[in-house]
Structure 1
Amino acid sequence: MLIDTDLTGLPVLVVGPPGLTTSVVRRHERAGAVVTLASGPGDVTQEVCNRVRLAVLVGPAAGWASVRDALAGRCPVVDAPVPAAPRGRVVLVGAGPGGLDLLTLAGVRALAEADVVLTDRLAEVGDVARLAPGAEVVDVGKRPGHHAVPQGEIERIMVERARAGLTVVRLKGGDPYVFGRGGEEVEAAVEAGLPVTVVPGISSAVGVPGSAGIPVTHRGVSHVVTVVSGHVPLEEEQAQALVALGGTVVVLMGMHNLVPLTTALARAGLAADTPAAVVERGFTPDQRSIVGTLTTLPDLAVRGGASSPSVIVVGEVVRRSAVWARRVGADADGIAMDGVA
């Protein structure tokens, strides 16, 4: 349970036998209190009593008469029941496409309650330690082609910590269920008999194009959007199906396969002059967009030095980025139109 009152800087005394006070201390520290811990009546000295402004007596400590007498008239005294036996749980939190402002309130709350946070390189929400005070933060970050911590090991750590009675938050970029392997992690928690919940996040598939003024759907332009993983090139049948479906194609994690991806779509019959864009490093100060056509985009991306993380958008909706660039009082936000406006 969270303490919603801001206790920043408040000197708090927590009194109770060893092993019973951990969660109470954590809750108060996360609310900003400066906590002094007393494991027995002998620890509640006159010096301690003089400096505290709130005392919390946990479990059996509520019956320690000498402690109550020492605190009488000095500060409010609150009795806290013995915490229930801890039961671990797993919470998957979508961090959104970048920046604390795009993390949901539910995500912020989950982090505040976390004992352990497993985070990756795309979960860029700033100071995780500040959002999850007192929690163990484990970097399990992955880069394209390099998984420092294999997925199986991530799931092992997650289950192990939760089985020890801890609240484990798996913080993931974007949304856990959009190419985030969230389904596998939920499965691992369920198979281990652990409670698990999922806090959705804004997917980069929608958020990043939108930040560059590209709506993935637009009335009269596209009523279909398909999100594709770019880890591997498109099979011929897949490319043909995408072209036949029409609308917008959004590719995540596809920069290293940009040439084969666009080539496959062209061979499947998508017009060479179909607008296409790369939106790089979305929602960071270095965000920029490179806009061209299906056939010119790969060369433009190479010349521009574009790299991951980037979102690739193919379809007529890319022309909407010209509207974004023409906003009153706004600059072009780094958008190179390459004749597509």
Structure 2
Amino acid sequence: MATQSDKHYLAGLDLAGRRVVVVGAGPVAQRRLPRLIGAGAAVEVVAPAATPAVEALADAGEITWHRREYRAGDLDGAWYAVAATSDDAVNAAVGEEAERDRVFCVRSDDAAQGTAVTPAVAEHDGLLLGVLAGGKPRRSAGVRDGLLEALQSGVVDEHAEPPAPGVALIGGGPGAPDLITVRGRRLLAKADVVLTDHLAPRELLEELGSHVEVVDVSKIPYGRAANQSVINEHLIEAARAGKFVVRLKGGDPYVFGRGFEELLACAEAGVPVTVVPGVTSAFSAPAMAEVPVTHRGVAHEVVVVSGHVAPDDERSLVDWPALAQLSGTLVLLMAVQRIEAFAEVLIKHGRPADTPVAVVQEASTESQQSVHTTLAQAAEDVRNADVKPPAVVVIGPVAGLKH
């Protein structure tokens, strides 16, 4: 049989309803079967034994399993074959039969001896990607992964049409640019206008095209703040002007992010809105500092509380005496400035003064720092460490866990 060259003709085979024979039912065959099944092929496996996964496919009727050794003639009527046994001699025999019958055949043991090779494959939003690298599978897999990541992130846009005018409320996660969701990054790459703030991952803005209008609507704690009504108006006006507008936030839009206020304003104005949840800092910031907000046998509840107003403020909707009676985890957001008041009210109503506390500043970024203290000492230790917003305060036994 002729030795295969490193130059291939890449084609998409329509195997739906057509006979495909896979000789062997071990781990290699197990990897090849799902995509053949997904292509609609009439897959027949020839092997005396199979892995549990292959056996399950046969039991489910997704393949036909001939529980015996390969024999000449097994490729009769086949359109495609895969030789995937652990016996090189059997694979060679399958390849020779395939050559005689003009059936394209993949050799798992020696790709150069087959008449076809399996590309590094991935699927994305209706696209099937296949990469061949002349017999260098690691290279083809690396290129495949890079293309897939570029498509998922929106760096490569597979859609020729621009998105319809509207607004996307996107949570950017706790700070690191690679903690935004795949969907969020993809939509961000399509934006005509981006309204962002200081909590959103700023590195993501560097990836935007020069045509994208970026509007800073930062609400800096205890400093200048963009009025929410102005933000709403800007979203609506830009969308009505035919733009695709992204409101990029830190964390999650619906966790103390005023995302629903913006959705209501857009809905009232007849502007379509897409909501993309983000990784909330309430849980991810403690995780980055190796603090679990729950742990078996330690905490059975987690309560997330906004600290943007003091406990005695008439605008407060929080039942602080009730929270003090809980034994689980309290996560306070926007609480650094008033941490002394929160600690005092919790201790006053029954939370032990020695309750562990962890404060995590700018989680997932290069500026991340953590302070481990107790409820009684929290205010002093936070001041001494010069902790600044954004920071997340975790109160409860989980904050004292060590590994």
Q: Which residue of 2 aligns with 1:306?
A: 387
- Whole-Å separation in 2 of the counterparts to 1:223 and 1:309: 26
Alignment-derived partner of residue 250 in structure 2: 173
Question: Matched residues in 2 for 1:167 and 1:208: separation?
Answer: 31
Indicate the SS of the match to 1:126.
helix
Pick the aligned partner of 1:216 from 275, 293, 304. 293
Q: Percent identity?
A: 46
1:51-200 equivalence runs, <5 A: 87-131=164-208, 134-200=211-277
CA distance in 2, matches of 1:190, 1:212: 38
Q: In the alignment, which residue of structure 2 is the partner of 1:317?
A: 398
Assess if the C-alpha contact under 8 Å between 2:353 and 2:376 holds in 1: yes
Contact kept, 8 Å, 2:177 with 2:204, in 1: the verdict is no
**Residue 227 of structure 1: aligned partner:** 304
Q: How does the TM-score come out when normalised to structure 1?
A: 0.68
TM-score by length of 2: 0.58
Identify which of 321, 335, 338 aligns with 1:257: 338
Check the 8 A contact 1:96/1:174 in 2, yes or no: yes
CA distance in 2, matches of 1:221, 1:125: 36
Matched, 1:239 2:334: no
2: CA distance, partners of 1:250 / 1:132: 37
1:284 aligned residue: 365
Rounded to whole Å, the distance in 2 between the matches of 1:31 and 1:189 is 29
How do 1:13-24 residues align onto structure 2 when only pairs under 5 Å count? none
Instruction: Check the 8 A contact 1:108/1:131 in 2, yes or no.
Output: no
Is the Cα–Cα contact under 8 Å of residues 111 and 132 in structure 1 kept in the other structure? no
Q: Over residues 250-290 of structure 1, what are the superposed CA-to-partner deviations in whole Å (9 max), with x where a residue is unaligned?
A: 00011110100100100011001110111112111121111
Q: Which has the larger radius of gyration?
A: 2
**Relative contact order: is structure 1 or structure 2 higher (C-alpha 8 Å, sep ≥ 6)?**
1
AA paired with 2:290?
G
Report the Cα distance in structure 2 between the residues aligned to 1:87 and 1:96, rounded to whole angstroms.
25
Does the Cα contact within 8 Å between 1:103 and 1:125 map onto a contact in 2?
no
Contact 2:218 2:225 in 1 (8 A): yes
Cα distance in 2 for partners of 1:132, 1:95 equals: 18
1:336 equivalent in structure 2: none
- Partners of 1:294 and 1:245 lie apart in 2 by 14
Residue 228 of structure 1 aligns with an amino acid whose one-letter code is V
Q: For 2:326 and 2:346, how far apart are their aligned partners in 1?
A: 12
* Structure 1 runs (4+) greater than 6 angstroms displaced: none
Q: Which amino acid aligns with 2:269?
A: A
Change (3 A) 1:271 1:132: farther
Q: Deviations over 1:227-264 (max 9, x none)?
A: 11111122597111112233100000111101001001
CA distance in 2, matches of 1:163, 1:90: 10
Rate the CA distance shift 1:132–1:107 in 2: closer, same or farther, 3 A: farther
SS in 2 for 1:180: coil
Distance (Å, rounded) in 2 between the aligned partners of 1:205 and 1:229: 10
Taking only aligned residues, the RMSD between alpha carbons, in angstroms, comes to 2.6
Figure out how many residues of one structure are paired with residues of the other and give that number.
249
For structure 1, list consecutive stretches of 5 or more residues without a partner in the other structure. 6-29, 33-79, 324-341
Q: Which runs of 5+ in 2 are unaligned?
A: 1-124, 129-154
